[in-house]
Structure 1
Amino acid sequence: MFTGIVQGTAELVAIDEAEDFRTHVLALPEDMRHGLEIGASVAHNGVCLTVTQIDGENVSFDLMRETLRVTNLGALGVGDRVNIERAARFGDEIGGHAMSGHVIAMAELLEIDEAPNNRRLWFRLPAELGRFVFAKGYIGVDGASLTIGAIRPVQQGVGTEFCVDLIPETLTRTILGECSVGGRVNIEIDPQTQAIVETVERVMAARGD
């Protein structure tokens, strides 16, 4: 489990390509390597990956075909940076919201609104995920736990558009401050919201409502 509080960023220093498979090697800062062992879980842009090798500051992670298809990690190149969070431990403060590290889709960045000391980002989600998105609800964006600021209507079937507001600390600590229009971010829907919506849908369907 993860909290959605990004602990920092790490640089992708090497990529080993294979058929429908990749190994990413990240240079993890010393504070993020403390107690790290092979088999541990680390979130990269919100994607839960397993440590497969540790060589000093260089730590390796394997990416399967489904990870490459669903997330933005397959589009990364050497020199790019990713948001990093170590798996939560019992007793850790949950400063964001509980996240699984299972990315459900990507969203396109449509618009950036700049304001003094903060930034608003507008994204478009696939249409089928719109029923899980509510104003003031939680959402995971590239591994960061954020609050949905607003939702705006779009043409039916096109998708759902929502915004998040970023404070200076988030812009400094994560790669979200580097996002540009047209870029794609990983999205994890709040698991509790998803469970509630799907349960209500099943009950209504069973009743014929």
Structure 2
Amino acid sequence: MFTGIVEALGQIKAINVNSDGARVVVDSGDLDLTDVKLGDSIATNGICLTVVALDSSSYSADVSSETLTRTGFAHYAPGTKVNLEKAMLPTTRFGGHMVSGHVDGIAKILNVTTVGNSVEYWVELPQNLKQYVSEKGSITIDGVSLTVNSVENERFRLTIVPHTTEQTIISSYQAGHVVNLEVDLIARYIERLLFCKGQEDTASSSGISKELLMQSGFIKG
């Protein structure tokens, strides 16, 4: 589990494609690897990767064919910069939101506009993820926990403050750039809850209903 607060910027050193997927080597930049062990997880542009080899300045991980298909790895090459975050500890300050590192899909940056000292990004909203993205809700872009400022049809808007721009790879985004998306876990669980409830003839013993969720502000009618 991660928080979506980027700890360091890294860089892809190598991607070696094989019959099972690929082996990726990542230069860890300023990320402290002294407490990282083989088998630990590191979010790499929001993708939860398991460390299979390690030295003082880089780590290696295996990327499955599924991950290559569903994430931006198909667009990565040696030299590509990536956001890095180690798995959270029980004592970690929870500055972002719950992030699993399981990418739901990819999308393109549609437009970039400077507004005062911030930058606005309009991002493509895939049809299969529309129901999970709401105004003022949370979303993860390349491993960064961000707030959705508005949603319009097939796109949503982010407003990025200078600190986030400086600490992540977001400053490199231009129209057409492909990013990894992970929707809010709570939105997914609510959908599943409602789906299961809809298939039952009797009310759930938990007492949770669509009407209750609407009244509490979790979903809109």
TM-score by length of 1: 0.91
Distance 2:31 2:141 in 1: 23
1:168 equivalent in alignment to 2:162: yes
Q: Secondary structure at the match of 1:92?
A: coil
**Which position in structure 2 is the counterpart of 1:85?**
85
Unaligned runs of 5+ in 2: 202-209, 211-221
**Which of structures 1 and 2 has the bigger CA Rg?**
2
Unaligned runs of 5+ in 1: 154-159
**Which position in structure 1 is the counterpart of 2:219?**
none
Q: Secondary structure at the match of 1:33?
A: coil
**Which position in structure 1 is the counterpart of 2:189?**
195
Residues 32, 86 of structure 1: 8 Å contact kept: no
Larger RCO, structure (CA 8 Å, separation 6 or more): 1
Distance 1:54 1:131 in 2: 39
Q: How does 1:25-174 map to 2 (within 5 A)?
A: 25-153=25-153, 160-174=154-168
Residues 139, 182 of structure 2: 8 Å contact kept: yes
Distance 1:121 1:20 in 2: 35
**Which position in structure 2 is the counterpart of 1:5?**
5
Deviation string, structure 1 residues 157-184 (Cα, Å, up to 9, x no partner): xxx3111110111111111110111111
1:184 equivalent in alignment to 2:178: yes
Change (3 A) 1:176 1:30: closer
Give the deviation of 1:74 after TM superposition: 2.5
**Which position in structure 2 is the counterpart of 1:22?**
22
Partner amino acid for 2:173? C
Partner amino acid for 2:34? H
TM-score by length of 2: 0.86
| Structure 1 vs Structure 2 CA RMSD | 1.7
| Structure 1 moving runs of 4+ over 3 Å | 204-207
Aligned residues: 203
Partner amino acid for 1:3? T
Distance 2:31 2:49 in 1: 18
